[in-house]
Amino acid sequence: MTQCGTGSWASPRRRTTTAPHTARARELWEAARAEAARGTPPPQFSVMLDLVDAMLTAGESGPEHAVPKLACALREAVRKRCSETIRATLVDRAAGLLCELDDARRAARLIGAGERWRRGRPRPMPERAQVERAEAAARAVLGPGRYAAECRTGGSLTAEDVLRELGEAGVLRRA
């Protein structure tokens, strides 16, 4: 396994030790989804519920099962015209999961896309810490020059380009 997938945030041991918390979080997510279905939540609320679902799936089953859910959430965010900041949050999380899958090149591209979509606005915590870990891991695998080049390439990606990147990663399944 390359360095991109070796952070403590990516370890199977961590998934095991957080299993009770993940189970409780899944229960709370299901309750939130049911409550949301009773009304008309704003689009970003539904998209962020999809993000939580993907991250819970990563904890339950691994990143290869979560990335397709994040891709669907991004597709929905575009369709519902959510802000670029919401889209960037989804892409940042996908970058972290791609690092877990040892795809440092695509992770760097997604980090670059997220940076551009945020238009200089800082990432909030804990997203910032997660992206910093993904950046460090991808930089360690790619080297500083190639990492910077991949980020620059990512800075020009559209949402459709990002979805294509996820598809090319081999983890995007047709729903």
| pLDDT on residue 170 | 62
- Tell me if residue 83 falls in helix, strand or coil: coil
For 110-125, what is the mean pLDDT? 92
Range 120-127 average pLDDT = 87
Q: Under a CB-based contact definition with an 8 Å cutoff, are residues 99 and 5 in contact?
A: yes
Is the pLDDT at 93 greater than 80? The verdict is yes
Q: What is the DSSP string of 42-64?
A: -HHHHHHHHHHHHHHHHHHH-HH
Looking at residue 18, its pLDDT comes to: 58
The mean pLDDT value for 141-145 works out to 96
Angle at which helices 63-79 and 84-100 cross, to 10°: 160
Output the pTM of the full model.
Answer: 0.83
Which residues touch 31 (CB under 8 Å, ≥6 apart)?
Answer: none
Coil, helix or strand at residue 171 = coil
Q: Is the confidence at residue 22, as pLDDT, over 50? A: yes
Is 90 exceeded by the pLDDT of residue 12?
no
Domain map of the chain by residue range? 3-168
Cα separation of 33 and 20, whole Å? Answer: 20
Count, residues in the chain: 175
Is residue 86 over pLDDT 60?
Answer: yes
